[in-house]
Amino acid sequence: MRDRFLQGSLVLLVTLLVVLAAMPGLAAAETRTGGSVVVAEGETVDGLETFAGSVVVRGTVEGDLSAFAGDVTVAETGRVTGDVASAAGSIRIAGAVDGDVSGAAGDVTVAETATVGGNLDAGAGTLRIDGTVDGDVTVGAERIVLGPTASVGGDLTYDGRLEGPRSAVAGTVERDSSLGGPGVFEPVDPGVSEWVFGVYGFLVNLALGAILLAAFPGFSRRVADSAIETPVQAGALGLGLVVAVPILLVLVALTIVGIPLTLVGSVLFAVLVWVGAVYGRIAVGTWLTSYTTVENRWVALLVGFLVVGVAVRVPWVGWIPELLVFLLGFGALALALNERRRRSRRTAEEGAPATDTDSDTTAA
């Protein structure tokens, strides 16, 4: 029976992960993080998203190219059939981009050999156009340069210092001070930026969970046990603390010496809220793996994060499981801390050395 349940659970988990992967921005492109990414001449990549690394395209990117915190170069032999978007990095186009080009917080260069089939939007330090842009150009930059071989098929709307022949622009040339100079655009697709920060947050929280399990294995197991054995009590306590503690901190701030205490208390409360949310995911993973033949805290950690990560992405109602898991983990953390305090006090009153049969130095 347990094996059948395990098989069914694994099928369900895989199905959910496939559905998650099919959602926009997650599996539509190859994703690479850090270092230098090179699409070699003759190589074809089906879309590309990068984080914290430079990108050089000498081959072909079928689809969009998105980069965060890294420079993007499309060489003369390179081609991107979709859009090119970069945040916190410079862009240099010497080849062909069939779609739009957008960049923020870096220089943008369209070389003489370059062709951009769509529009160009930039919030940059310097924008230089020596090649061809078939669509409109909208830019806020300190310096905008139209070279002698530049060609803009649409309109040019800009704010900054414009240099070069305006005759290179087939449409109108208009200055718009509302553009506000460099850095005002957020050109990266919101889905891409949401995915980037979502992955970053997932990894940071997963790392915190691993640290908690490694540093406090016994205590972490007690927190998970509290959440599993008394979920209603833990959730109610978590809700009560979320409501009561901020009110208490405000009241303390009204006293003469309350502001420093409130600041310290607020930081401590924020840390406990974060830890509680992570423990909630660990508790969910522990509960799910308890129905299988696999009982391993590291597997429980991963399962909990994956399952909750899928659940919170459900449109409209994804916030509900996230809230419930947080309240469950936060309340269970408070219960475990209170139990540890009571045990320490009882040990001190009895005059015996403080011992813990479920020590945090032993694996849970």
Predicted confidence (pLDDT) per residue in 323-349, tens digit: 999 999 999 999 999 998 888 888 877
Q: Is residue 277 part of a domain?
A: yes
pLDDT over 80 (residue 102): yes
- Identify whether residues 144 and 267 lie together within a single domain: no
188/207 Cα distance (integer angstroms): 27
Cα 207–Cα 212–Cα 217 angle in degrees, nearest 5: 135
End residue of a domain, out of 179, 199, 230: 179
- Identify whether residues 221 and 73 lie together within a single domain: no
- Identify whether residues 43 and 155 lie together within a single domain: yes
**Nearest residue to 46 via CA among 15, 80, 85, 5:** 80
Q: Residue 197 has what pLDDT?
A: 60
pLDDT over 90 (residue 59): yes
Tokens of 105: 């917080």
What rounded mean pLDDT belongs to the chain? 81
pTM of the model: 0.49
If you ran DSSP here, which 8-state letter would residue 252 be given? H
Q: Residue 19 has what pLDDT?
A: 38
254/131 Cα distance (integer angstroms): 63
The set of long-range contacts for 80-85, using a CB threshold of 8 Å and a minimum separation of 24, is 82/47, 83/118, 83/189, 85/187, 85/188, 85/189, 85/192
Centre a 10 Å sphere on the Cβ of residue 16 and count the other Cβ atoms it contains: 17
Strand-strand pairing, 84-87 and 156-163:
unpaired
- Identify whether residues 169 and 200 lie together within a single domain: no
- Identify whether residues 144 and 246 lie together within a single domain: no
- Angle formed by the axes of helices 258-289 and 297-311, nearest 10°: 100
Say how far residue 138 (Cα) sits from the centre of its chain.
28
Mean pLDDT of 67-76: 86
31/33 Cα distance (integer angstroms): 7
Strand order in the sheet with 60-61: 44-45, 60-61, 79-80, 96-97, 115-116, 132-133, 151-152
End residue of a domain, out of 138, 154, 179: 179
End residue of a domain, out of 143, 160, 179: 179
Q: Is residue 361 part of a domain?
A: no
Domain that holds residue 300: 190-350
Q: Is residue 360 part of a domain?
A: no
- Identify whether residues 23 and 104 lie together within a single domain: yes
The 10s digit of each residue's pLDDT in 147-180 is 999 999 999 999 989 999 999 999 999 998 877 5
- Identify whether residues 173 and 208 lie together within a single domain: no
Q: How confident is the model at residue 221 (pLDDT cuts 50, 70, 90)?
A: very high
- Give percent of the chain above pLDDT 70: 79
Task: Give Cα separations from 81 to 48, 49, 95, 155, 277 (angstroms).
Answer: 11, 14, 11, 23, 42
Q: Is residue 113 part of a domain?
A: yes
- Identify whether residues 153 and 234 lie together within a single domain: no
Q: How many domains does the chain have?
A: 2
Q: Is residue 149 part of a domain?
A: yes
Strands (E), 88-239: 91-93, 96-97, 101-104, 108-110, 115-116, 120-129, 132-133, 137-146, 151-152, 156-163, 173-175
- Identify whether residues 250 and 344 lie together within a single domain: yes
106/174 Cα distance (integer angstroms): 23
The 10s digit of each residue's pLDDT in 22-55 is 333 333 344 444 457 899 999 999 988 876 678 8
- Identify whether residues 98 and 219 lie together within a single domain: no
Q: Residue 86 has what pLDDT?
A: 84
Q: How confident is the model at residue 315 (pLDDT cuts 50, 70, 90)?
A: confident
**Nearest residue to 8 via CA among 330, 352, 309, 292:** 292
- Identify whether residues 208 and 333 lie together within a single domain: yes
